[in-house]
Amino acid sequence: MRSRHLAWLSPLALLLAVLAGLSLGPGGFGWYVSPEIASIRLPRVLLGALVGMGLAVSGAALQAVLGNALAEPYLLGVSGGAACGTALALILGLSAGLPGAFTLQLFSFFFGVAAIFLVYRLARVHGRLPSETMILSGVVVNAFFSGLIMLLMSLAGRQLQDMIYILMGNLGILFTRDTVFLLAMTSVLVAAGSVYLWIQSKNLNLLTLGEAQAQSMGVPVERLKKTVFFIIALMVAALVSLAGVIGFIGLMVPHLGRMLSGPDNKRLLPVSGLLGASLLILSDTLARSFGNFEIPVGVVTALLGVPFFIFLLWRKKSQKI
């Protein structure tokens, strides 16, 4: 299956996803049922678009840098750090505390940033950043923070339900002065990061052939790798602090993107961004469409992701025969 000229489907997908996200859900059908309903749905659609786009673009870029289609942004260990920050803030009761309603998100973001530096210090070998040690330290740091999260969960008591909801992915926000500020800051970060990665798309293509190969074709490999890792890590820290750990988008969407546009990152990154936004908006719409019961959106993306990978595996097997 090699169709490289279907990139135009991705903006269409986003349009449909936004319409679906605004029109569906408990509270009635229609893209503007009432001001109350719109004020619930619109922020979710916006946050879904932001998080979905950021994760998908990060995933596609990381897969290029590591030359591995199984890489995903949570590999860098940052998500564990940010999630642990969220859990700790919940236990300490910071969510309702002073000075602003976004203390929880800030706490989570700073834990994510701390995790970046931890991974970087562990991974560095003589000033270089070999991909293998980067992945290994990411895995170790993630494991460490997962352990801490479990510890916090076992101490959580009545807050356990809240904690699970936030950590497994939650796009439920309402517009307040604080959340609008947070959304704006994160949008700037994700937009700047995505544009940087897109500008580097040719170098990312070369990196898929290997680091020595890319270097021999003029790519300043060490500098580029460090910058790309750092930018992806910052984006992931910000996104996890806002929406929890939503899995599979960063892994699955770049594969979908390659089916539509081919592997050239100049097309793949924008297409992945649009598809990631669409997929997360749709997943969230699905997550809140079961009457008065809301499923964490991370559960939906995982349930969608697994059949998708079984399909990929099946296709790969049938090609080999």
Span 47-106, contacts to other proteins by CB under 8 A? 67-69
Contacts of 11-17 spanning 24+ positions with Cβ under 8 A: 11/274, 13/274, 13/275, 13/278, 14/49, 14/274, 14/275, 14/277, 14/278, 14/281, 16/278, 17/277, 17/278, 17/279, 17/281, 17/282, 17/285
Q: Give the shortest CB-193-to-other proteins separation in angstroms.
A: 16
Tell me which residues in 237-276 interact with other proteins (CB under 8 A). 258, 262-264, 266
CA-based nearest residue to 265, from 191, 192, 199, 189: 199
Pick 19 or 217: Cβ nearer other proteins: 217
Which of 221/232 has CB closer to other proteins?
221
Stretch that binds other proteins, among 26-34, 168-176, 209-217, 283-291 (CB under 8 A): 209-217
Q: Which is closer to other proteins, CB of 151 or CB of 209?
A: 209
User: Which of residues 208, 299, 309, 312 is near other proteins by CB under 8 A?
Assistant: 208
For residue 299, give both structure tokens: 């559960």
Q: How many residues bind other proteins (CB under 8 A)?
A: 29
Least Å distance, CB 2 to other proteins, is 7
**Among 29, 35, 154, 212, contact with other proteins (rule: CB under 8 A):** 212
Q: What is the 3-state secondary structure (H, E, C) of 163-231?
A: HHHHHCCCCCCCCCHHHHHHHHHHHHHHHHHHHHHHHCHHHHHHHCCCHHHHHHCCCCHHHHHHHHHHH
Find the binding residues for other proteins in span 213-232 (CB under 8 A).
213, 215-221
**What are the tokens at 146?**
């997962």
CA distance 47 to 70: 26
Q: CA 1 to CA 312: how far, in whole Å? A: 11
Which residue, 182 or 268, has its beta carbon nearer to other proteins?
268
Rank residues 92 and 195 by Cβ distance to other proteins and give the closer one. 195
Using CB under 8 A, which residues numbered 145 to 204 contact other proteins?
A: 198-203
Q: Which is nearer to other proteins, 176 or 216 (CB)?
A: 216
Q: How far apart are CA 100 and CA 130, in angstroms?
A: 40
Give contact residues for other proteins (rule: CB under 8 A). Answer: 2, 67-69, 198-203, 205-206, 208-210, 212-213, 215-221, 258, 262-264, 266
